[in-house]
Homo-oligomer: A and B are copies of this chain.
Amino acid sequence: MLLIRDLAQVATPAGRAAPLRGEALGDIDLVEDAFVLCDGDTITAVGRMRDLPSLDGDVLEVDGRGQCAVPGLVDCHTHAAFAGDRVDEFSLRASGAGYEELHARGGGILSTVRATRAAGEDGLRAAVERHRGWMLRHGTTTFESKSGYGLDRDIELASLRAIRDAGGVPTWLGAHAVPPELDDADAYIDFALADVLPDAARIAEAADVFLERGAFDAGQARRYLTACRDAGLVLRLHGDQFTEQGAIALAIELGARSVDHLEATGDEGIRALAASEVTAVVLPASALFLGRPMPPARALVDAGAAVALATDFNPGSAFCESLPLCCSLAATQLRLSPVEALSACTVNAAHVLGRADRIGRLAPGHRADVVLVGATDWRHLAYHLGGDVVSRVIVGGVP
């Protein structure tokens, strides 16, 4: 057994429901002077120290003094399967270069496709492991990652295997961009569905598409997603990042699990999402990184939509693996409270990944994924902007 004892606070989203909507997103169970008890990879009890039962057998103790426990964080939207970086492009953009200039200089998604193909499967596995380590140090105990920098059969499948073998939840982002060897989106989708989907569907849990002007249009996205759904995959969409192109309506029509980004979403989209079962995944680090408007997270929560918070970790538009930083951005840029931010990157993110029964809360029966925050008030997770706020991470009961 593992006993995390003398914690200043244990903070966890309240109740058993998932996803949390509206005011429920701001409900928290807070226990002070508390312990978390785990048996193997499962939490067996959470309570006040004065109610700690006597324990028989081997007990490994972790000293929680001066710290708080929150659920292991869940990053439900990353692009961690890439090689290389885009620091040149970043520097040019900082100096005022526009997208067209960056593209002309060889930047953009396709520059990462070149680097990722060149890295091969071994390089890709090493990269995913490295990125997983970065996430873990910032408290992410469950991560999703998309493929999408192969755009051919071998590297797409290698990406999905690398993500799965690193313990991640693989999403096949077959429709991320049109690869350089093809210049027609429809021809690429024909190829992807015929030659990649059958094997991708055996590794991935979900499929995703970049529905945006210059990427794939709503008709192409519908064709791609319908085939993926028929192959048994959960559906997700990149939508409304720069322009509204019908992603929300398509997500609802096809019963997608989530639509992600939403920086350009207007009132009609907010109302439609709130009335649907589709979770809105907001990615404030991406908006910050690109200097773009923030998504309307406050309005989505107030309207009753299920909102999750993720990093969008990727080399081009969000080189950021830190969910604590995203919690800070949620509080300062999205007008979500620290409690809402925590719920959005734990239980609601777990819902997006179909795992809310086992992760996202500190509660008996849940997996023993615990983040210790190095302060006596857990809200330092959001308050301490860019700080080293994660003092310890426990994954599956292993301290």
Residue of B nearest to A294 (CB): B291
| 4 closest cross-chain pairs (CB), A and B | A325-B386, A94-B331, A320-B385, A322-B386
User: A324-343 toward B: CB 8 Å interface, digit per residue (1/0)?
Assistant: 11000011110111110000
Q: Quick one: which of B87, B90, B290, B383 contacts A87, CB cutoff 8 A?
A: B383
Chain A count of residues within 8 A CB distance of the other chain: 43
Q: A91-B338, A335-B94, A337-B95 are in contact. Are A322 and B288 (CB under 8 A)?
A: no
Q: A331-B90, A338-B94 are in contact. Are A289 and B377 (CB under 8 A)?
A: no
Q: Quick one: which of B90, B138, B333, B335 contacts A379, CB cutoff 8 A?
A: B90
A338-381 residues with Cβ-Cβ distance < 8 A to B are 338-339, 375, 377, 379-380
A242 in the interface, Cβ–Cβ < 8 Å?
no
CB A75 to nearest CB in B, in angstroms, measures 13
A285 in the interface, Cβ–Cβ < 8 Å?
yes
Known: A285-B385, A318-B385; 6 extra A-B contacts, CB below 8 A, are: A90-B338, A94-B331, A134-B387, A285-B386, A321-B387, A324-B386
A-B contact pairs, 27 of them (CB 8 A): A85-B380, A87-B338, A90-B331, A90-B382, A91-B331, A91-B338, A91-B339, A91-B379, A94-B330, A94-B331, A94-B332, A94-B338, A94-B382, A95-B335, A95-B337, A134-B388, A289-B332, A290-B332, A291-B333, A319-B384, A320-B384, A320-B387, A321-B386, A321-B387, A322-B387, A325-B386, A386-B386
CB A283 to nearest CB in B, in angstroms, measures 12
Listed in ascending order, the chain A residues whose CB lies under 8 Å from chain B are 85-87, 90-91, 94-96, 134, 137-138, 285, 288-291, 318-322, 324-325, 330-333, 335-339, 375, 377, 379-380, 382-388
- Structural contact, A385 and B289, CB atoms closer than 8 A: yes
Q: How far is the CA of A387 from the CA of B95 in the complex (A)?
A: 22
Residue of B nearest to A334 (CB): B94
Q: How far is the CA of A33 from the CA of B164 in the complex (A)?
A: 36
Q: How far is the CA of A336 from the CA of B95 in the complex (A)?
A: 6
Contacts of A96 in B (CB 8 A): 335
Contacts of A91 in B (CB 8 A): 331, 337-339, 379, 383
Interface core residue of A138, A285, A288, A333 (most chain B CB under 10 Å): A288
Q: Quick one: which of B85, B335, B383 contacts A383, CB cutoff 8 A?
A: B85
Q: How far is the CA of A386 from the CA of B138 in the complex (A)?
A: 10
CB A325 to nearest CB in B, in angstroms, measures 4
- Structural contact, B386 and A337, CB atoms closer than 8 A: no
Contacts of A319 in B (CB 8 A): 383-385, 387
Q: A379-B91, A383-B85, A383-B90 are in contact. Are A137 and B337 (CB under 8 A)?
A: no
- Structural contact, B94 and A336, CB atoms closer than 8 A: yes
Residue of B nearest to A315 (CB): B383
Contacts of A134 in B (CB 8 A): 387-388
Q: How far is the CA of A95 from the CA of B387 in the complex (A)?
A: 22
Q: How far is the CA of A330 from the CA of B134 in the complex (A)?
A: 23
Contacts of A94 in B (CB 8 A): 330-332, 335-338, 382
CB A58 to nearest CB in B, in angstroms, measures 33
Q: Quick one: which of B95, B375, B385 contacts A288, CB cutoff 8 A?
A: B385
Contacts of A335 in B (CB 8 A): 94-96, 291
